Structure 1
């Protein structure tokens, strides 16, 4: 029954921390992230990472991105595709150059430096999505650009990672054409299913004489898209986001959104926020403090100005460009997955793994307050409800 205690503790801790964070003028998500560190192994040790936490957290981030898809203005997303592409590319080039320079300067080998540079190119907007929702900016031009850029970033970085693992790692050779083909197939299938199958599927399932048939159908779509994305080598959160967009184009959008938010924000999303903090430990980091500080600064500034430059070159003003760059800073769970792949393949030295995790956490923690600082004042009433 220990997992029942974990659930109760997580729900109480995240709601209290989120409320306190809002009272202090910060997005609620910042408090939820920090409380995960406090009640985790780094400080109090009340909750330890386990399979239960991992599974609930995975569902939480999928639902978070599914809701983001439901709330996304598809027309706005289409209009900003050029900006999204420019932001993604700018947010890859600068972090890669900065990461390689830092790693080389600290004496890592060429292959290790290349991997660390690629690691800094990753973007996970799940935390940015929550912060943008609290700031009522998710459906803004800037918010749509951030979401579009995250999709492009995911595809490019995963392809580059596969190339690097194939050429430099200890894993077996990977067919690059097949890899790119799988990603192209993912988008073709998802677009086709979204246009022709999802509307029909939702209409049919809504007619079933069972409890919450429509909501069940929406979750089936969300999890199926996410599973298919993972099988095609695309992040599951991109699949969940695509499922949300697909359902947002049907007449069931508002009903699904109204019912999925209580499920997500009551149980699964709080576990996801806490799970990020559970990966933190401060054991043996004293000797790598300089590495962590330098790499964190490079990770934050390179994404901020790289993504911001892409936005500026495509017509955004200085403030909006900085906001978009800030929304791309968080590396989150995507970078954690990449770092684990690097450790397994031998491209990320074991003695640097914990320090890299710390850098990923720092980029994740600074994103909400950066967005709060740059965007207009948050809608406090909505934030308190989260």
Structure 2
């Protein structure tokens, strides 16, 4: 284990420096230290056992970030997309192999193995890039889940192809049906038992006991899954989904994350160990030809499957690029096929090398997928006649891009205060939800000019990007600014590192979720120290004005520091509007005893359009009056309490 970390750590640091994905670094480390490299590690089997733990934990964490309600809601579309991908990719590979005279049993098996993608690599990259909430992320996950379900009937199909099976072809279809039933049963049982177990341990045990229980649940679900004919990883994924709906999910995520990162790194190292460099050198031309064919066919198959399930061309292309590699289950099934005599040893080695190389380049394809898809399908959408005219009549409205949680909340508020708005959404289910609310919604891609024009971009007052896809957000900002230079662009992003890039792209305000939490915390701390609310708001505005520079280690410039200094010295006045429920309602200035009891002085009263400066003792305060108070911070707090609940407030404070 020490050797694995000793070699992989410097390689990964180099990959990080040149901005290449860490997954590639781990695979290269495996090539270097493996039995076909420097031979520093000979016991590959032990490494594989640890690697399996990595896949299990990876799928568990993905399940934690998923939602069972979302899975149930999108089950049919996900099943359709996964089935279409397996069918299109498998038929294409089978056709090519048959054309070149590959035996039928090998053609059938290779078409099935080639259709499977790497759950571990794709899930890892999607999670690291915070794309679980994106449409292409959810589509990829759905297809991968269907592929994992298909592994069970594929295992039964291998003896059939080798001519050693006792059952007929009907057993394969029956196996798939059994696997679906097994998953359903596992979900139902877990949903009944897991929440109760978590609650009991959380109530009577400590945080360490809760972590131990979670590990027990992961292993138990994995073993139950394996006993039902499914993979260990599938059981862990189901356990994660069940726990995701509990109140303990966030803490569990933090506890398991270090273990996941460590063991998943070992998995990717183990993949690199499979690469036989001598065969790679001997059959280089054949291997690169097969690799290119596999990648192209897989991109095309996944692209078509996403298109037929009503995704846009851009999203479909992203899905295609992200699933354009062989899967870890393909390697397992290929080994079974070798033992059954379907493959010869040399054929098996070439399959391993092609599969491993496809996994090696997968992180690069995933990293560039969004950018390349925007260049191909999202660079505007103007025809020769120019952009289409907007079909609506909205003016000075807000365009809301994305109808996820953020978009839904914003839309409800805008609707409540009667500000006109237009939603743009690319997910069919989200469009349906918006229509149920009777909101104006346009199905389309915000990276295309025609969609923005139809949403009334030229006449809109503001546009808000509330989507998780960074590349699409950046492209949408640039396009919006180009179509309407005067529009106010607000963007929600999850990460601080994206603030500067999105601002440079043309956004007027970028709201980073990471920093908004910090702002809420420091504002509450300042309130605890009796700092007036207007001072707090001015400080918050300064932080945002600098693009959260203070939190990113960037000092506020001298100009803004001078401004804040002025704010602090000039904000010793505060206004308070008296309501009918206030104790001060109907009392004279003399009866209030504000200065004597709090130290604050009443310097003016605003009633309607009239201002009474320095009101005398007989002046009566009534509901609706705005009292202008002067004093120190603590004095103003006491004065407010007196106005609200009476002079007894001072005795308590």
State TM-score, norm by structure 1.
0.88
Output aligned runs, 1:223-262, within 5 Å. Answer: 223-262=219-258
Partner of 2:415: none
Partner of 2:141: 147
Q: 2-side partners of 1:22 and 1:282: how far apart?
A: 25
Segments of structure 2 that go 5 or more residues without pairing to the other structure are 371-469, 472-493, 499-653
Deviation for aligned residue 1:153: 1.7
Partner of 1:220: 216
What are the superposed Cα offsets for residues 173-226 of structure 1, whole Å, 9 maximum, x if unpaired? Answer: 474465345313312222212321110111122234467111111111111222
Q: Which moved more, 1:277-286 or 1:160-169?
A: 160-169
Structure of higher CA gyration radius: 2
Output aligned runs, 1:200-349, within 5 Å. Answer: 200-209=196-205, 212-265=208-261, 267-286=262-281, 288-349=283-344
RMSD: 2.5
CA separation of 1:176 and 1:105: change in aligned 2, threshold 3 A: closer
Partner of 1:28: 22
Q: 2-side partners of 1:222 and 1:32: how far apart?
A: 25
What is the SS of the residue equivalent to 1:41? coil
Higher helix share: 1
Aligned length: 375
What are the superposed Cα offsets for residues 139-180 of structure 1, whole Å, 9 maximum, x if unpaired? Answer: 322212211211112223432442353254435547446534
Deviation for aligned residue 1:338: 0.8
Output aligned runs, 1:334-373, within 5 Å. Answer: 334-373=329-368
What are the superposed Cα offsets for residues 294-329 of structure 1, whole Å, 9 maximum, x if unpaired? Answer: 322222122212112121222322222122222322
Q: 1-side partners of 2:497 and 2:273: how far apart?
A: 29
Q: Which moved more, 1:192-201 or 1:90-99?
A: 90-99
What are the superposed Cα offsets for residues 48-82 of structure 1, whole Å, 9 maximum, x if unpaired? Answer: 24332122111111111111111124444444434
State TM-score, norm by structure 2.
0.54
1:18 aligns with 2:15: no
Q: 1-side partners of 2:195 and 2:315: how far apart?
A: 35
Contact 1:120 1:331 in 2 (8 A): yes
Deviation for aligned residue 1:342: 0.8
1:9 aligns with 2:6: no
CA separation of 1:54 and 1:99: change in aligned 2, threshold 3 A: same
CA separation of 1:28 and 1:379: change in aligned 2, threshold 3 A: farther
Q: Which moved more, 1:60-69 or 1:26-35?
A: 26-35
CA separation of 1:178 and 1:322: change in aligned 2, threshold 3 A: closer
Tell which has more relative contact order, 1 or 2 (C-alpha 8 A, sep 6+).
Answer: 1
